[in-house]
Amino acid sequence: MIVPIVWKDSALFLLDQRLLPGEETWVPINSVDEGAEAIRSMMVRGAPAIGVTAAYSYALAFKKEKWEEGRSKSVCEQLLSTRPTAVNLKWALERMAEEARVHFSNSEFSVEVCFGFLSERARAIHDEDVLMNHAIGRHALELVPDSARILTHCNAGSLATGGYGTATGVIYSAHEKGLVERVWVDETRPFLQGARLTAFELYKAGVPYTLICDNMAGSLMAKSEIDLVVVGSDRIVANGDVANKIGTYSVAVLAHHHGIPFYVAAPSSTIDFELESGANIPIEERSKSELGICHGVRIAPELESIYNPGFDVTPNHLVTGIITEKGVFRAPYEKSLKANRPPA
């Protein structure tokens, strides 16, 4: 299993996902500024992995200075500004900041003790993410038929998390039980996370897969070549609307039309109970060059007339089930998700 995030000798090391699959390069991250840029530039990506990286980056902000509430607030604002759609980023930073506030506000600690405490808390978030991913995979086994042919969109595997994966973690768990005949992998334009990352992961793990272009999914569904769809999510809101990589909504519509189950796999930290509807989710708009330039070659006549949102929203009526570490939730999501909302 590929591990994308490593904490070693008081430094964070990230596998540069922009270079995969051609080059496996580890980059040391020694400051909050470097951590923020790694998230912004998509050196690391995937909502859970962003959250884990943000937690470590928060700790690095206090490697050489004592914790102070004003500084904590500015660090959170800096990291929150990098990727607005992924709610795990906010969740991890709020947890780090609150635990630091409770621990440090009324006590005197050295810089070394502060940094050690924050490093341990970030490590705990990392470890919990891996455990949640494995639990998601276990809960999903009841949904996967024998000889399953599964379609997934984008990358929600070990590269997108602290390890193992959400949607791809479902695939790994099913594969370990001998349930997977084939995984259909959407290429996921324009950043090609499916082609570059999911196919790479499945190849490394020995899971049978076939890479397809994004606009091929409907044709395969019409031919009864797909049994279920499993995707990840960057934010799920209180009514069960789901934000995920652009193109997910199209896949959900196709699956609904063909009577194919459409599942979303994500840790409970991806659920944003503060938003009631997907219409309120902030959608990140990515650089025009990501769509207009490929491997350094311009493929569009000019870049100005390009629209490149990174995500879309799938309405809850198209979602067959939401799989978290707590189980499988079904409509009406306002009730099923609310029943498992953590206490304030």
Q: Which residues contact 64 (CB under 8 A, 6 or more apart)?
A: 111
In angstroms, the CA 292 to CA 290 distance is 6
Closest CA relative to residue 166, chosen from 269, 57, 94: 269
Q: Which helix (H) or strand (E) segment is 243 a member of? A: strand 242-245
Q: Coil, helix or strand for 185?
A: strand
Helix 47-60 to helix 87-104 angle, to the nearest 10 degrees? 30
Beta pairing, strands 297-298 & 311-314: unpaired
In angstroms, the CA 16 to CA 204 distance is 17
Is 234 assigned a catalytic role?
Answer: yes
* Contact between 263 and 298 (Cβ < 8 Å): no
Catalytic pick from 227, 234, 272, 312? 234
Mind telling me the catalytic residues?
Answer: 234
